[in-house]
Amino acid sequence: MADLPVEKNSISLNNLLDMNEDVRLEIINGELVEMTAAGVLHQIIVGNIVRILDAYVNQHELGTVFPDGLTYLMHSNPNSLRYSFVPDVSFIRRENVPANLDITKPYPGVPDLAVEVISPNDKAINVQEKILAYLEKGTEEIWVVYPEPGSQSVHQYRRDYSTIRIYQKPDETIDTSTLFPNLKDLTIKAVFKLPDWTKN
């Protein structure tokens, strides 16, 4: 999982930490990418997923669910970061947390689950690059959520799948058997549920 040798003008972890905290940044294949501002729909969907997963994970003491904001260094060389991702929702199994983790810094490895909610300005090539990097570096599952009304769906990528599973029907339940056994509440209807005030 080692990255290429350090190159001139590469972005180090210290460079990343020194950048403006108000700007959300990722590194994709060595290039700095500014993330677009999230809209209300995006955040509602993130909140729906976090609430369902967090309740289950805490009840069964499986690990920790993180909302948007945690940076994963994807096993990159801290002197020359090739990848640095900030998923909208993520999960780390408690047994996979490294010993002596510095909780004041970005997470050095990968999430066991990464959820990416697609924004209108996300480039397809960047999304695909991130999916491949997640899988290559050891993430068990990636859920790519498409929130636009009329085409709402969740695309599930698993390291043990040879195909992508796509969930679109409201009553479909996302297969979480690998990470969250017996979780029955994560339906497409629940993922895309809107509060009443949005319908006025």
CATH label of the domain that carries residue 55 = 3.90.1570.10
CA distance 136 to 127: 14
pLDDT in tens, 101-115: 999 999 999 999 999
> Could you tell me if residue 124 is inside a domain?
yes
User: Does a structural domain hold residue 7?
Assistant: no
Residue 3 pLDDT exceeds 50? no
**pLDDT confidence band for 171 (50 / 70 / 90):** very high
Q: What is the mean pLDDT of the chain?
A: 90
Asked whether residue 47 is assigned to any structural domain, the reply reads: yes
Query: Region 161-168: what's the mean pLDDT?
Result: 89
The range of the structural domain enclosing residue 75 comes to 13-199
6 in any annotated domain = no
The answer to whether residue 105 sits within a structural domain is yes
Residue 8 lies in a domain: no
| Any domain includes 1 | no
Q: How many domains does the chain have?
A: 1
Taking the CA atoms of 74, 80, 82 and 85 in sequence, report the sign of the dihedral they define.
positive
* Listed residue (86, 68, 90, 67) closest to 139, CA to CA: 90
Give the distance from CA 18 to its chain's centroid: 23
Higher pLDDT, 192 or 14: 192
Q: Measuring CA to CA, which residue among 79, 84, 69 is closest to residue 14?
A: 79
Q: How many residues can be counted in the chain?
A: 200
**Residue 26 located in a structural domain:** yes
The pTM (predicted TM-score) of the whole model is 0.90
